[in-house]
């Protein structure tokens, strides 16, 4: 049942539409057509996408009209360290958060080589639990999140429900970090038992995953929809999936 709460904030990530093959700004403009969206997460997979992002005054006004706006920092072909590229990324992110009124930026911890890059920034960096990837040391388990948050007091937490379920972890186990929890990502395992993939839509997901997602979805944190199984800008199809998520909140 849907509880009528002021905390019910449902939003969508631009990353949902990476398979459409359009530029970030075009994705953002498509999102303006969607009804019932209270939050936006701008996702920059590669550093160049971040550097190329040019918003108009209308785009900025659209973002500022939302209850919650966040950014997902580059996570492909990137290393946050002492180099010039990191400097440029951090300063670009720093000015972008001020422009669009974002507070949080999600990072993948395995891309960070030097945590001092976050010493004097205008935003709160968030670490996200992920699914496992061969050859990469990622933060997946509850215990790993705990260790990370203990070691990095300036970081908040982004709970990724889909990645937790894919790894066989009950998403509600992560709610013990609610003091540090800033936002929640929702997508669903897709495919068949034994070779499940992340980032599926709820209409195609196993019912057991819909049930498992409920406690975290209704915990009162901003929810960002992150399914990526869209191949065109189909307003009706996206709104249908968002309705299902809403019914679980
Ligand atoms: Zn995520």
CA of 104 to the centre of ligand 1 (A): 13
What domain range is 39 assigned to? 10-248
Residue 2 lies in a domain: no
In whole angstroms, give the CA distance from residue 193 to residue 120.
Answer: 45
Count the domains in the chain: 1
Summarised one tens digit per residue, pLDDT across range 33-67 is 998 899 999 999 999 999 999 999 999 999 999 99
193 versus 79: the higher-pLDDT residue is: 79
Q: Which pLDDT value is given to residue 4?
A: 45
Instruction: Please say if the pLDDT value at position 7 is more than 60.
Output: yes
Q: Which pLDDT value is given to residue 6?
A: 52
Residue 233 DSSP class: -
Residue 4 lies in a domain: no
Residue 5 lies in a domain: no
CA of 58 to the centre of ligand 1 (A): 27
Q: Which pLDDT value is given to residue 133?
A: 85
In whole angstroms, give the CA distance from residue 180 to residue 182.
Answer: 6
Instruction: Please say if the pLDDT value at position 5 is more than 60.
Output: no
CA of 57 to the centre of ligand 1 (A): 28
* Cα 159-220-75 angle, rounded to 5 deg: 25
Instruction: Please say if the pLDDT value at position 193 is more than 80.
Output: no
* 41, two tokens: 């997460």
Residue 57 lies in a domain: yes
Residue 67 lies in a domain: yes
Residue 138 lies in a domain: yes
pTM as predicted: 0.94
* 8, two tokens: 């019910």
* 20, two tokens: 């459409």
Q: Which pLDDT value is given to residue 50?
A: 96
Length of the chain as a residue count: 249
Residue 3 lies in a domain: no
CA of 221 to the centre of ligand 1 (A): 14
* 206, two tokens: 């196993």
Instruction: For residue 194, name the pLDDT band (cuts at 50, 70, 90).
Output: confident
CA of 60 to the centre of ligand 1 (A): 23
191 φ, ψ (degrees, to nearest 5): 100, -155
CA of 187 to the centre of ligand 1 (A): 8
**Mean of pLDDT values over 239-245:** 96
> Is 159 within 8 Å of 193 (Cβ atoms)?
no
CA 197, distance to chain mean position in Å, is 17
CA of 130 to the centre of ligand 1 (A): 7
**Mean of pLDDT values over 1-5:** 44
In whole angstroms, give the CA distance from residue 59 to residue 45.
Answer: 20
**Mean of pLDDT values over 143-164:** 97
CA of 127 to the centre of ligand 1 (A): 10
**Mean of pLDDT values over 99-111:** 95
In whole angstroms, give the CA distance from residue 228 to residue 204.
Answer: 12
Q: Which pLDDT value is given to residue 109?
A: 94
* 155, two tokens: 């970081």
Q: Which pLDDT value is given to residue 164?
A: 97
Q: What CATH code is carried by the domain that includes residue 26?
A: 3.20.20.150
CA of 4 to the centre of ligand 1 (A): 25
């Amino acid at each position: 049942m849907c509880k009528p709460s002021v905390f019910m904030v449902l939003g969508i990530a631009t990353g949902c539409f990476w398979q459409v093959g359009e530029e970030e700004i075009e994705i953002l403009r498509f999102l303006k057509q969607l009804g019932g969206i209270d939050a936006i997460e701008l996702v920059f997979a590669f550093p160049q996408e971040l550097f190329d992002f040019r918003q108009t005054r209308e785009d900025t006004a659209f973002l500022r009209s939302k209850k919650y706006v966040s950014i997902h920092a580059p996570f492909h072909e990137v290393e946050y360290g002492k180099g010039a590229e990191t400097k440029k990324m951090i300063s670009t992110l720093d000015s972008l958060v001020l422009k669009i009124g974002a507070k949080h930026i999600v990072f993948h911890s395995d891309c960070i080589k030097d945590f001092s890059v976050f010493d004097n920034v205008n935003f709160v960096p968030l670490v996200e639990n992920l699914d496992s990837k061969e050859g990469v040391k990622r933060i997946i388990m509850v215990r790993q999140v705990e260790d990370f948050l203990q070691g990095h007091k300036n970081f908040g937490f982004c709970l990724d429900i889909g990645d937790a379920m894919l790894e066989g972890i009950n998403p509600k186990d992560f709610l013990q970090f609610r003091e540090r929890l800033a936002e929640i990502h929702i997508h669903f395992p897709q495919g068949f038992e034994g070779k499940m993939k992340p980032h599926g839509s709820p209409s195609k997901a196993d019912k057991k995953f819909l049930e498992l997602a409920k406690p975290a979805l209704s915990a009162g944190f901003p929810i960002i929809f992150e399914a990526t199984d869209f191949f065109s800008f189909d307003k009706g199809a996206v709104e249908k999936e968002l309705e299902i998520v809403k019914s679980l909140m």
